[in-house]
Amino acid sequence: MTSASAAAAPDRSAEPAASSMPDPGLLQGLQADLMAMPPVAALGLRVLDADDQGLRLSAPLSLNVNDKGCAFGGSLVSLMTLAGWGLVNLRLAQAGVQAEVYVAESQVRYRAPVFADLTASARLAEGEDWSRFLSTLLRRGRARIGVVSGVAADAGTLGCECQSQYAAILKPA
Amino acid sequence: MTSASAAAAPDRSAEPAASSMPDPGLLQGLQADLMAMPPVAALGLRVLDADDQGLRLSAPLSLNVNDKGCAFGGSLVSLMTLAGWGLVNLRLAQAGVQAEVYVAESQVRYRAPVFADLTASARLAEGEDWSRFLSTLLRRGRARIGVVSGVAADAGTLGCECQSQYAAILKPA
């Protein structure tokens, strides 16, 4: 997440009503960082939007379709994993903290086939706290945080969901 | 898995020593079925081999590399999910049973970064039984089975592992 991490802190003075939105530059940096990875470019990933609650990514069904005409499970997991990874990186960038972020474990449930373009949302898991995560990371050099992500099925119901733990390791100053 | 499912039952008369190997035609059919999916073609997937114990797939690191120079988590999950899916489909094809196979849930642990080309192995989970799975499928029209898959890290240790449940639904005759 080089460019998003290196981007300036968000300037929220112009639009007080949109104070929950990260700076557009951070999202553009995230999009560039993600698309620089060949398997992410192959997904056709797009960063949709983000706010204080979470981050949304999308990918076209055409590039991620399986033999049954719906979304391939691996693409669903990829997009959900990236949504969580992107969310943790965004929060670190907003806090001005330089760290590498790794997914450590995930529990995935495929609930219904997804026959539309894929939209993945990620948010903090219940009981987690960004401030505690950041303070642990700064104090110990590493920290873990739980993120929940999901992809809606075409009827608006949940197509699949993913509970993941991400590990962050502080970069040497 | 159209072509693998439709392939003939394995002919093991020529090589008694290789009696645990599925017919090469089944593996070629599996490879063709898998690569027909755009997200699988993007992985650069190759069916390596199979025996009574399991199935192995590979994919080059170059197509599946992340921002840290190691394998992208989503690609690891994709390959492990496909190895399990392929194994269940192979067993169905060997038994001459026509069914659709879906991954239902997965638990993934990322243990160590994978800095080499990816090789995923899938085998039946502890306590599972192919005969019971097939008889349930034929009797009730649907059945579930647990599969364990993993990708080795470059030092030969386990890079990541995935415990998955697959659901099979009998196709109408």
pLDDT at A14 over 50: no
**Nearest 5 degrees, angle CA A31-CA A36-CA A40?**
75
Rounded to an integer, the average pLDDT of B124-143 is: 97
- Distance from the Cα of B99 to chain A's closest Cα (Å) equals 12
Q: How far apart are CA A27 and CA A32, in angstroms?
A: 9
Q: Tens digits of per-residue pLDDT, A77-91? A: 999 999 999 999 999
The per-residue pLDDT for A97 is 96
Residue among B74, B85, B108 minimizing CB distance to A105:
B108
Q: Does B64 touch chain A (CB under 8 A)?
A: yes
The per-residue pLDDT for B124 is 97
Rounded to an integer, the average pLDDT of A58-66 is: 97
Q: Is the complex ipTM higher than 0.90?
A: no
pLDDT at B86 over 60: yes
Is A67's CB within 8 Å of B108's CB? no
Q: Please tell me which residue of chain A has the smallest CA distance to B166.
A: A110
Mean pLDDT value across chain B: 88
In this structure, the dihedral spanned by the alpha carbons of residues B95, B97, B99 and B104, taken in order and rounded to 10 degrees, is -30
Q: Tens digits of per-residue pLDDT, B22-49? A: 788 899 999 999 999 999 999 999 999 9
Q: Tens digits of per-residue pLDDT, B94-125? A: 999 999 999 999 999 999 999 999 999 999 99
pLDDT-based confidence at B156, cuts 50/70/90? confident
Using a CB-CB distance cutoff of 8 angstroms, which residues of chain A are in contact with residue B40? 72, 74
The per-residue pLDDT for B173 is 78
Report chain B's C-alpha Rg in angstroms. Answer: 16
Rounded to an integer, the average pLDDT of A36-59 is: 95
- Distance from the Cα of B92 to chain A's closest Cα (Å) equals 17
The per-residue pLDDT for B24 is 83
Are the C-beta atoms of B151 and B77 separated by less than 8 Å? Answer: no
The per-residue pLDDT for A88 is 97
pLDDT-based confidence at B134, cuts 50/70/90? very high
Copy the structure tokens of residue A45.
Answer: 């990933």
Are the C-beta atoms of B124 and B70 separated by less than 8 Å? Answer: no
The per-residue pLDDT for B97 is 96
pLDDT-based confidence at A50, cuts 50/70/90? very high
Rounded to an integer, the average pLDDT of A84-109 is: 96
- Return the number of other C-beta atoms located less than 10 Å from residue A156's C-beta: 8
Q: How far apart are CA B129 and CA B79, in angstroms?
A: 23
pLDDT at A17 over 50: no
Copy the structure tokens of residue B92.
Answer: 């169905």
pLDDT-based confidence at B20, cuts 50/70/90? low
pLDDT-based confidence at A5, cuts 50/70/90? very low
pLDDT-based confidence at A20, cuts 50/70/90? low
pLDDT at B78 over 60: yes
pLDDT at B151 over 60: yes
* High-pLDDT (> 70) share of chain A, %: 88
Q: Please tell me which residue of chain A has the smallest CA distance to B44.
A: A39
